[in-house]
Structure 1
């Protein structure tokens, strides 16, 4: 079916699916932490990333010290409130994303960046391992100038580490945090609900020292 073909180019505005105005319903609480998936988190900060299939990526963050809540969704596309099937068609332009809420008194943005870079291969373009398509592209999206500075510095530092290890150019798209559309309920904390579920996440084995991204 055309809906499920693998597209490796982002759709033009004229090609993008129309989507809908209705927001995806989400569960009232995180399956692992019990915290809300959305809302105001007093004293907390957030990071928004894309690193391949969001099932395994989300687990990396909810397992990290200092993380209060996580969720998965779709970002950086043209279709409002897309469904999973629409995103997989390649006709929305979105990539699968993870949003993590963390307590800066217990961890840091730099520590979150380290999880991001080390947990996937950011040199693979429109794929991640065996998962191929625009929805699996790597992305790092900042919420303010401080995050932007650290995101770019971490990319440049990690690029040098990767090059020394024989890897190519980082293809991660870095830009302002776009609108975040929650994914369907069954995708949220998927690997906690399905411990034997698929996880295609794999890093390069190249370390990204936290010190290299300090301001």
Structure 2
């Protein structure tokens, strides 16, 4: 069967279309370029993690590593079908993965709500399978979280931000919020890319609409 890449980039691949991937993880950096901490852990017991997809992961990662209370960040892929994909494979649209940032943080030092505010205000969550000039499923807006409490808070914040966007004349939010699937680290060259290449590409743009505090306990929705 012949697939047209332009078409596959705008829809999720079926299991029959997805690239096979590989059993072993691809090589990546050992430590964070900015803070020197181990990318793959071990992480302190006090930390929690979340995956944010908001377009090109180079610019998205840079938003989070300077935040006090964030222990380490890393870029990679999640939410698709292909195990242990390479960056080049994800660009075909045939893995189903989104580019995401792993944020490992200490909730005693930085509340999850602050990370959510950075997420919502740091990109345009109304664009579906794209972010600005970056087009395809890889660039969709996602929040993948491992705990029920995080998911409920993320859904409440989505509802609050959707109302703010609607009031500003923006379209509906297309962000997917779901339990965290497997996370696959991207190659070393992509980790903390904009710290090593300060003039590198970053197409990330917000809407200019501030994210209000979410109503307590409003975590309904998928």
Give the TM-score normalised by the residue count of structure 2.
0.92
Alignment of 1:192 with 2:195, yes or no, is yes
Preserved CA contact (<8 Å) 1:4 1:88: no
Rounded Cα–Cα distance in structure 1 between residues aligned with 2:27 and 2:216: 38
- Residues 26-75 of structure 1: CA distance to partner in whole angstroms, max 9, x if unpaired? 22210001111112322111121100000000000012221110000000
Choose the corresponding residue for 2:69, options 66, 71, 75.
Answer: 66
Report what 2:22 is aligned to.
20
Rounded Cα–Cα distance in structure 1 between residues aligned with 2:156 and 2:70: 23
- Bigger mean CA offset, 103-112 vs 86-95: 103-112
For residue 92 of structure 1, report the CA deviation from its aligned partner: 0.5
Preserved CA contact (<8 Å) 1:77 1:94: yes
- Residues 117-138 of structure 1: CA distance to partner in whole angstroms, max 9, x if unpaired? 1100000000001100110000
* Structure 1 segment 13-162 matched on structure 2, within 5 A: 13-42=15-44, 43-162=46-165
Choose the corresponding residue for 1:177, options 169, 177, 180.
Answer: 180
For residue 148 of structure 1, report the CA deviation from its aligned partner: 1.1
Rounded Cα–Cα distance in structure 2 between residues aligned with 1:122 and 1:3: 26
Structure 2: stretches of 5+ with no match in the other structure = 218-222
Rounded Cα–Cα distance in structure 1 between residues aligned with 2:215 and 2:59: 24
Structure 1: stretches of 5+ with no match in the other structure = none
Rounded Cα–Cα distance in structure 2 between residues aligned with 1:30 and 1:51: 21
Preserved CA contact (<8 Å) 1:47 1:112: no
4+ residue stretches of structure 1 with deviation over 6 A? none
Rounded Cα–Cα distance in structure 2 between residues aligned with 1:129 and 1:51: 11
Report the aligned-residue RMSD. 1.4
Alignment of 1:8 with 2:20, yes or no, is no
Equivalent position SS for 1:100? strand
Preserved CA contact (<8 Å) 2:50 2:144: yes
Rounded Cα–Cα distance in structure 2 between residues aligned with 1:214 and 1:68: 27
For residue 5 of structure 1, report the CA deviation from its aligned partner: 4.1
Rounded Cα–Cα distance in structure 2 between residues aligned with 1:130 and 1:27: 28
For residue 109 of structure 1, report the CA deviation from its aligned partner: 0.7
